[in-house]
Chains A and B, each alone.
Chain A
């Protein structure tokens, strides 16, 4: 469990970090929290020649409410999102997911930006961000750009963050009306990747009709998956038991799980159905509580 040799830089400004990225090219890798990257390096699945550590760059760790958006800095540790009262008052889904990501040691070090930039459909935060309709802020030499979460994940370990760019923040819109969110995953033991995971956020108008639904699925597709048909089934309804059953059925049909030690396709589709049902119920409860 010893990685290959690599160089290490710890720039103190974003500009310096971007310069280093440009200079070193594709052999450079950003170190945000390291809790996916370093295990891969120890197993020599990843052998980057140069790590650029963002820990010393100030101003990348924050949770701020700006108008109808909550902005989260990329270097915000998982534990800070899990424990932020400000964030969880609006989006209790962060408390749900925080407890399920790996273990406390990982959450104390791993960052939200690193989690998303890793581009792994087995990570939990991508599904949460889909449920919340987040936007991702990316900086490059040319300036800053914003990408919707649906355009962020490309493939296995591939995201919209291009060579020479750095993910800097996550923006989460605060919906109008009553809204609630929830996440759960089925896991073989604590700290495991999801057998299947479901994040849901529902928004309701004053009449109790669902105006907006976000549902993200974990680890049942090559990339993090939005359960669009399920969302459509919910919008415009009062989210009755029949509607929930239908939405859950759609999610189980629309995901593309592959068989592994966690289960075969059938079992994973069953898990997705059950969890979709349960998370919709929980999100709805939270919206009205």
Chain B
């Protein structure tokens, strides 16, 4: 289905070129943050609060300072002298770097130890005596607005309760009217659990402040080095660290998934320590600290759907309670406090919807990380795909048939959604048809009928989602005012080999390979001859970084357009060399030739060489181009996923028998890389569906704060992922690509949840919150009084 326009030798789009970066990874020569060692480097460890909400009455540094090798203990009071104890979040809220008097969540940074060895720093962490006066924390977001709830953020002017903000979109009255008059209304309360990205590499940095030239080099695990440099300048400009004196270097990253977008206090404390002591300071976050100090999701959603008895969806309504912890430290575009949640009207054609959200402060860690998800799309897709199944169940219609009936038709694109998005393109019917054919859907339904007669539990679940990625067009999308464009700079050397630099930052996505393929496609320079570099703010062009599946839609587009600028220049040089007019030339990948006389041609390599050695008079020498791409719209990848589960009726163990994922990401740059992304993403979709959730007790203790109890699925738990795709190019993207990294994480959870709920249909189950575990099924059936009840279809 994927047709390549270039030869294998050139390796443009559509070729499964092996990942260039893997050579160094498989040889163990990748350079991650902990691989950096600088002369005189000190080590930092962080003392964290055991309590969710407490006053700090005393911090006794003495015993820690007495440990051999300990250089300093830094507290909030120390930072206060420099006005560095608070910092702004990306959502314009405020977050403590170190507290001066109150801790707001378990695991919050209380003080930092700087020592000559990591071991001494760790021993000192134990030796510091902190006295607390505990207070009753706010843990349950549903009780955060009660009259007797303590006001958690008195620091915020005018703050009267624990509500951070309210947001809404759509037509409230029209929606209400449709719901009041509809034949069928369904409603479910859902929780999309608080989860953690659990990347192999935790966060870390080496802050190297040089007193002599007043310059900071910050080696750090960040997905957005340029934006982070600007944030540092905004936080520390007043102490003399202005932006030109800051260099951020983001080396190889061992997984980011959104968890390395925010500015964590640890980074800032390390900078402060290096600034105060005048030596490089390394901080490598502990695994447990990493697990319990940031989070994704945590949306409580009331989802409703109205429709006719025969299956026509008429309207949806969603109400969200968003638990943000003690501050809104999410990393959404500034104008979108709920991110892209309003994509939650789904892949279906109906005119009316209303959504609202209330963000709540609680005594939990801040976060709202967009975990492999374009800003809350996962939450939105789960709600719409679950409630769609609920509607099908209510009216007794097959969920596949119901979806087919309601899909936006391919001729309706560009499609204006009731919440204001303009879906660029799609062919939802084709995707679901292919998925159904792949699993042999009708046969599965027949088998299910048979199995139910034998008392066996088997379920089939669908998810036919629309993603919204590639933030974003500058008229709507910015972070702290910086527009969400992204950039590419291509320099082709005289011998025809190139280096290309980008404002994004790969954390495993394979940019070093795929960006090269885009340039190869456009210029005909073999992708193996193109070095791709990212992550150094001193050398790469400014960009907003890699998250929200935005790299291909933004920087990938920038690469194509920069390359096209070079092709235009190449055409002029070719005309000059061949002594013909530009109009007489035709492009065939890798060379210009004279129309009608193909033997008269100049290869791109010859043209590049001429640009340095024999360029036309009056033309600028060299072969370089830069482009900052401002997308005209977002891109809307889609997918049709079908999951089949078997559940043990005695233990309720859940086995995913089959999982078919048909993705439509538009044109595909590298099918192998794309498939790898889908495999990883599906596994990270399986995770919250059946395993992962950070659980808090009433006192605000994270009771599963290690990987022993926070259950990250492995290859053993992962089913055989069956992948495939349909191709509906984005009409506005220069190479017709849409982005693939996040679709599977977004689309998989509802397919799995729908399959499990379908399996439990004979018991009358209509909904279960993820993660759905065997124990949860047991409890559900027990609570319903149907445990071990004989089932019949």
A, B bound: yes
Q: List residues of chain A with CB under 8 Å of any chain B CB.
A: 1-2, 4-5, 43-44, 186, 188-193, 195, 261-264, 266-267, 270-271, 274-275
Distance between A2 CB and nearest chain B CB, rounded to angstroms: 4
Residues of chain A with a CB closer than 8 A to B288's CB: 1
7 contacts between A and B (CB under 8 A): A1-B287, A2-B122, A4-B126, A5-B123, A186-B774, A189-B714, A195-B775
Does more than half of chain A's interface fall in helix, strand or loop, or is it mixed? loop
Known interface pairs A189-B716, A262-B775; A2-B704 also in contact (CB < 8 Å): no
Contact yes or no, B691 A266, CB < 8 A: no
Contact yes or no, A192 B775, CB < 8 A: no
Contact yes or no, B650 A274, CB < 8 A: yes
CA distance A133 to B72 in the complex (A): 58
Residues of chain A with a CB closer than 8 A to B453's CB: none
Residue B394 lies at the interface, judged by CB distance under 8 Å to chain A? no
How many of B's residues come within 8 Å of A, CB to CB? 30
Residues of chain B with a CB closer than 8 A to A195's CB: 775
Known interface pairs A266-B782, A271-B651; A189-B775 also in contact (CB < 8 Å): no
Q: Within the complex, which residue of A2, A43, A263 is in contact with B119, where a contact is CB–CB below 8 Å?
A: A2
Q: 9 extra interchain contacts, Cβ-Cβ under 8 A, other than A263-B775, A264-B775? A: A43-B706, A188-B773, A189-B711, A261-B704, A263-B778, A266-B778, A267-B775, A274-B651, A275-B651
Q: Within the complex, which residue of A189, A263, A264 is in contact with B691, where a contact is CB–CB below 8 Å?
A: A189
Residues of chain A with a CB closer than 8 A to B706's CB: 43
Known interface pairs A188-B691, A261-B704; A4-B711 also in contact (CB < 8 Å): no
CA distance A2 to B285 in the complex (A): 12
Residues of chain B with a CB closer than 8 A to A267's CB: 775, 778-779
Per CB-CB distance, the 9 closest pairs between chain A and chain B, nearest first, are A190-B716, A2-B122, A263-B775, A274-B650, A189-B711, A267-B778, A267-B775, A274-B651, A188-B711
In the complex, per-residue mask of B701-720: 1 if CB is within 8 Å of any chain A CB, else 0 = 00110101101111011000
Distance between B653 CB and nearest chain A CB, rounded to angstroms: 7
CA distance A275 to B775 in the complex (A): 15
Residues of chain A with a CB closer than 8 A to B60's CB: none
Contact yes or no, B695 A261, CB < 8 A: yes
Residue B310 lies at the interface, judged by CB distance under 8 Å to chain A? no
Residue B118 lies at the interface, judged by CB distance under 8 Å to chain A? yes
Contact yes or no, B123 A189, CB < 8 A: no
Known interface pairs A186-B651, A189-B716; A1-B286 also in contact (CB < 8 Å): yes
Residues of chain A with a CB closer than 8 A to B126's CB: 4, 44
Distance between A225 CB and nearest chain B CB, rounded to angstroms: 20
Distance between B747 CB and nearest chain A CB, rounded to angstroms: 22
In the complex, per-residue mask of B571-582: 1 if CB is within 8 Å of any chain A CB, else 0 = 000000000000
Contact yes or no, A190 B651, CB < 8 A: no
CA distance A130 to B216 in the complex (A): 63
Contact yes or no, A2 B118, CB < 8 A: yes
Number of interchain pairs (Cβ within 8 Å):
54
Contact yes or no, A190 B714, CB < 8 A: yes
In the complex, per-residue mask of B277-295: 1 if CB is within 8 Å of any chain A CB, else 0 = 0000000001110000000
Residues of chain A with a CB closer than 8 A to B123's CB: 4-5
Residues of chain A with a CB closer than 8 A to B778's CB: 263, 266-267, 270
Taking CB as reference atom, which chain B residue is nearest A273? B650
Distance between A100 CB and nearest chain B CB, rounded to angstroms: 11
Residues of chain B with a CB closer than 8 A to A270's CB: 650-651, 778
Contact yes or no, B695 A189, CB < 8 A: no
Distance between A5 CB and nearest chain B CB, rounded to angstroms: 8
CA distance A264 to B691 in the complex (A): 17
In the complex, per-residue mask of B680-707: 1 if CB is within 8 Å of any chain A CB, else 0 = 0000000000010001000000011010
Contact yes or no, B287 A189, CB < 8 A: no
Contact yes or no, B709 A261, CB < 8 A: yes
Residues of chain A with a CB closer than 8 A to B653's CB: 186
Residues of chain B with a CB closer than 8 A to A193's CB: 708
Distance between A57 CB and nearest chain B CB, rounded to angstroms: 29
CA distance A190 to B779 in the complex (A): 22
Residues of chain B with a CB closer than 8 A to A43's CB: 706
CA distance A266 to B787 in the complex (A): 12
Known interface pairs A1-B288, A261-B704, A267-B775; A189-B709 also in contact (CB < 8 Å): no
Residues of chain A with a CB closer than 8 A to B774's CB: 186
Contact yes or no, B703 A189, CB < 8 A: no
CA distance A186 to B654 in the complex (A): 12
Residues of chain A with a CB closer than 8 A to B122's CB: 2
Contact yes or no, B703 A190, CB < 8 A: no
Taking CB as reference atom, which chain A residue is nearest B653? A186
Contact yes or no, A189 B717, CB < 8 A: yes
Taking CB as reference atom, which chain A residue is nearest B122? A2
Distance between B203 CB and nearest chain A CB, rounded to angstroms: 15
CA distance A5 to B68 in the complex (A): 13
Distance between A20 CB and nearest chain B CB, rounded to angstroms: 24
CA distance A193 to B773 in the complex (A): 16
Contact yes or no, B703 A261, CB < 8 A: yes
Residues of chain A with a CB closer than 8 A to B691's CB: 188-189
Contact yes or no, B717 A190, CB < 8 A: yes
CA distance A1 to B703 in the complex (A): 18
Taking CB as reference atom, which chain B residue is nearest A262? B775
Distance between B68 CB and nearest chain A CB, rounded to angstroms: 11
Taking CB as reference atom, which chain A residue is nearest B123? A4
Taking CB as reference atom, which chain A residue is nearest B774? A186
CA distance A39 to B550 in the complex (A): 39
Residues of chain B with a CB closer than 8 A to A275's CB: 651
Residues of chain A with a CB closer than 8 A to B287's CB: 1
Distance between A60 CB and nearest chain B CB, rounded to angstroms: 29
CA distance A263 to B706 in the complex (A): 18
Residues of chain B with a CB closer than 8 A to A261's CB: 695, 703-704, 709
Taking CB as reference atom, which chain B residue is nearest A278? B650
Known interface pairs A2-B122, A261-B695, A263-B775; A192-B651 also in contact (CB < 8 Å): no
Residue with the greatest number of chain A CB neighbours at <10 A, chosen from B118, B126, B774:
B774
Distance between A241 CB and nearest chain B CB, rounded to angstroms: 15
Residues of chain A with a CB closer than 8 A to B703's CB: 261
Residues of chain B with a CB closer than 8 A to A5's CB: 119, 123
Distance between A133 CB and nearest chain B CB, rounded to angstroms: 28
Residues of chain A with a CB closer than 8 A to B714's CB: 189-191
CA distance A37 to B524 in the complex (A): 58
Residues of chain A with a CB closer than 8 A to B773's CB: 188
Distance between B771 CB and nearest chain A CB, rounded to angstroms: 10
Residues of chain B with a CB closer than 8 A to A190's CB: 714, 716-717
CA distance A44 to B125 in the complex (A): 12
CA distance A5 to B67 in the complex (A): 12
CA distance A5 to B714 in the complex (A): 33
CA distance A2 to B117 in the complex (A): 12
Residues of chain A with a CB closer than 8 A to B713's CB: 189
Residue with the greatest number of chain B CB neighbours at <10 A, chosen from A188, A193, A262, A266:
A188
Residues of chain B with a CB closer than 8 A to A266's CB: 778, 782
CA distance A271 to B652 in the complex (A): 10
Taking CB as reference atom, which chain A residue is nearest B782? A266
CA distance A102 to B695 in the complex (A): 23
Residues of chain A with a CB closer than 8 A to B782's CB: 266
Taking CB as reference atom, which chain A residue is nearest B118? A2
Distance between A126 CB and nearest chain B CB, rounded to angstroms: 19
CA distance A219 to B12 in the complex (A): 57
Residues of chain A with a CB closer than 8 A to B779's CB: 264, 267
CA distance A264 to B774 in the complex (A): 12
Residues of chain B with a CB closer than 8 A to A264's CB: 775, 779
Residues of chain A with a CB closer than 8 A to B709's CB: 261
Residues of chain A with a CB closer than 8 A to B704's CB: 261
Report B324-341 residues with CB < 8 Å from chain A CB.
none
Residues of chain B with a CB closer than 8 A to A188's CB: 691, 711, 773
Report B175-233 residues with CB < 8 Å from chain A CB.
none
Distance between B358 CB and nearest chain A CB, rounded to angstroms: 29
Residues of chain B with a CB closer than 8 A to A262's CB: 775
Residues of chain B with a CB closer than 8 A to A263's CB: 775, 778
